[in-house]
Structure 1
Amino acid sequence: MAEPVTAEDLRRLRWQCRRGMLENDVILARFLDRHAGTLERETLGHLRTLLEFGDNELWDLICGRAACPDARLSPTLQMLREA
């Protein structure tokens, strides 16, 4: 069984999701609002990897203007797009 994501993990993730670009902030906040209760640790790790991208790079990935550099990130990226 996968280790659950804790309330502390989510608190830190919410803080990390605060970006310099409003569009990213909105998408990331919606993502967390929708998935916070069911987020798996693997998805949490993928989201943290995506957060390492700059604002414009992340926005291009979310909008589909740039190809996902790692296929393992694709499901999490799709979840962001659906948020």
Structure 2
Amino acid sequence: MSIPHQADPVKRARLRWRARRGLLENDLIISRFLDAHEASMTDAEVEAFSSLMDLADGELMDLLLARKEPDGELDSPHIHALLERMRKA
């Protein structure tokens, strides 16, 4: 059994590192969200967050600004719920 995200400081640091983006606007939105919600994120939310961090900056920005909605592999309840929280942060 693996250690949950919130109980492992290494996993938390790795999440912050992955959240660093090349596009300043993405960085600001993501940093603000993590500052407010990182401590309360569930492992499912961390997994959804990691999936979003795999996207190119332009694709991520379109999702964060609700110019697009997730499709394909990203079209899951966890991704939709996380994006909704991130958009409000």
Q: TM-score, normalised by structure 2?
A: 0.84
Q: Which protein is richer in helix relative to its size?
A: 2
Q: How do 1:1-80 and structure 2 match up within 5 A?
A: 3-5=4-6, 6-69=8-71, 70-72=75-77, 73-80=79-86
Q: Which residue number corresponds to residue 88 of structure 2?
A: 82
| Cα distance in 2 for residues equivalent to 1:4 and 1:25 | 21
How has the CA–CA distance of structure 1 residues 4 and 55 changed in structure 2, closer, same or farther, with 3 Å as cutoff?
Answer: closer
> Aligned to 1:49, what secondary structure does the other structure show?
helix
Deviation at 1:16, TM superposition (A): 0.4
- Give the CA RMSD over aligned residues: 1.1
Q: Which runs of 5+ in 1 are unaligned?
A: none
Q: TM-score, normalised by structure 1?
A: 0.90
Identity of aligned residues (%): 35
| Cα distance in 1 for residues equivalent to 2:12 and 2:85 | 17
Deviation at 1:71, TM superposition (A): 2.8
> Aligned to 1:18, what secondary structure does the other structure show?
coil
Give the paired residue count: 81
Q: Which runs of 5+ in 2 are unaligned?
A: none
Deviation at 1:4, TM superposition (A): 4.9
